[in-house]
Amino acid sequence: MGKNLRAKMFLDMKQKELFRQVQSYAFDYADRAFERNVFPTGEAIKDLDQFMEDLPAGEGDASEILAKLHQYGSPATVSQTGGRYFGFVTGGILPVSLSARWLADVWDQNTALYAMSPLASKLEEITEGWLRDLFGFSDDVVAGFVSGSSSAIFCGLAAARYRTLIKSDWDVNKKGVRAAPRVRIVTSREIHSAVLKAIALLGFGTDNIEWVDTDTQGRIMPSRIPVLDERTILILQAGHVGTGAFDPFDEVCALANRANAWVHIDGAFGLWVAGSERLKNLTQGIEKANSWSVDGHKTLNTPYDNGIVLCKDKEALVQALQASGSYLSFSEDRDGMLYTPEMSRRARVIELWAALKYLGRNGVDELVFGLHERAVQIARELEAEGFRILNDVVFNQVLVACESDEITNRTLSHIQHSGECWLGGATWGDQSVIRVSVCSWATTAEDISRSVRAFVTAQKHA
């Protein structure tokens, strides 16, 4: 970097004007988040053309760049931080967690090694212990802090692959997957697509999955599970992405444990239910699994890019993911890169720690159960207006249908374009549905009733 450019950047840092400018934009955005259109208007989307240009040849003005981002970028965002966004199982954002991320971004810590960030190492160690306590896991469970549950699933299944093949005296790190002993993959027909992606990436092949039938809510049926053995990886889920249903972990994990099979539980949003006294019966038996994947940015409402892999077999996780090099200074303290695929990795644990520190056990319980209460409310109010509810609302997911697929799809389109709230569509069984995911701490009872009114208006125009 040239001396002149470095000097200019230093002066901007010294004066702090850029940060004050961004702070004012952030506060302006936050002030409008709860009442603005949930999905951007057509005009806001058209204005994104303001960003279309060739790469500039010279230096730009930092203040003008930020002003352009706010003027044309802010209106074109989806208001996921408000109380009426119910799409894609997307959480809101706790102010304390967002604030912690701002500070962490200024710190710009690389969390690969203790030597790179003693702070991040210590907070990962503390947060790992808090998660064990919250989920009811044993002291041998370790955590890796990754970008999301897709990465966490990959890590959990990589550990499973390593351990399962070692049982057959095959070190996959050295010998690879070609000619490796067969590893059986058993899972339900309703498993999330992120699991299928991990299965493909790890070389198992989705054509080799032994599929298990599910009940009317998408739960795996224990009676349909094939005979398991020590060469088997069984994948279950805590929270079906459509119905919100939970697999019968206690019974199924007991079967797997007796067969010495590996169990991974995909709990992207549902694993947090273990932290609610009033709902944790849904997760009974999860501690019998070997690995788990979960998102902070869903149910816990941390900022995005916050996933966690938890694993009872530390050696398997480390062997599956560890890199080595003479320049790497491993320590007796926690070196975070041992538990994740990345070496360079931002200190995402800071906002996760802040959320758990702020909420505490009782706050997690209140947050999780509050999402359930709002889901029950929207199901009840929609049913009273003549909509059909197709699932048992056990947690935060609601599947809604009208009298025909055509009317359901048109109703959904009208809702999405109204700006009042936003929901996604899906197919459940053989019919089109509107999928409601209540995931934000900011969603109030009035937000639910207001959204129901949007349903009613949309159906009238369908």
pLDDT digits (tens, 9 = 90+) for 172-198: 999 999 999 999 999 999 999 999 999
Burial grade of 3 (CB within 10 A; 0-12, 13-18, 19 or more): exposed
Residue 1 pLDDT exceeds 60: no
pLDDT at 143 over 80: yes
Provide mean pLDDT across the span 36-61: 96
Between strands 397-401 and 431-437, the pairing is antiparallel
Query: What is the structure's pLDDT at 7?
Result: 61
Q: Mean pLDDT over residues 276-301, rounded?
A: 98
Least confident of 11-15, 179-183, 225-229, 286-290: 11-15
Q: Positive or negative CA dihedral for 357, 359, 360, 365?
A: negative
> What is the per-residue pLDDT for 3?
60
Work out the percent of the chain whose per-residue pLDDT is above 70. 97
Q: What is the pLDDT of residue 327?
A: 87
Beta-carbon contacts of residue 455 (< 8 Å; ≥ 6 apart): 382, 385, 387, 400, 411, 415
Give the C-alpha separation, 362 to 384, whole Å. Answer: 33
CA atoms lying within 13 Å on the CB side of residue 104: 24
pLDDT digits 0-9 by tens, 201-253: 999 999 999 999 999 999 999 999 999 999 999 999 999 999 999 999 999 99
22: tokens are: 């961004």
2 has a pLDDT exceeding 70: no
Confidence grade of residue 24 (pLDDT, cut at 50, 70, 90): very high
Give, rounded to a whole angstrom, the gap between the first and last alpha carbons of the chain.
Answer: 59
The counts of H helices and E strands in the chain are: 14, 11
Mean per-residue pLDDT over the chain, rounded: 95
Cβ neighbours of residue 307 under 8 Å, at least 6 residues apart? 145, 146, 147, 148, 149, 150, 151, 152, 293, 294, 295, 296, 297
pLDDT value at position 53? 97
Identity of the residue numbered 307: G
Domain ranges in the chain? 99-356
Backbone dihedral region for residue 287 (phi beyond 0: left; psi -120 to 50: alpha; all else: beta): alpha
Q: Which fold has domain 99-356?
A: Aspartate Aminotransferase; domain 2 (3.40.640)
pLDDT in tens, 89-122: 999 999 999 999 999 999 999 999 999 999 999 9
Band (10; pLDDT cuts 50, 70, 90) = low
**Rounded to the nearest 10 degrees, what angle do helices 314-321 and 149-166 cross at?**
110
pLDDT at 5 over 70: no
Determine the longest span between alpha carbons in the chain, in angstroms.
71
Q: Mean pLDDT, to the nearest integer, of 157-171?
A: 98
Contact 221, 214 (CB under 8 A): yes
Please report which confidence band the pLDDT of residue 324 belongs to, taking 50, 70 and 90 as the band edges: confident
**Mutual orientation of helices 193-201 and 149-166 as an angle, nearest 10°?**
50
Whether the per-residue pLDDT at 147 is higher than 80: the answer is yes
User: What's the gap between Cα 33 and its chain centre?
Assistant: 22
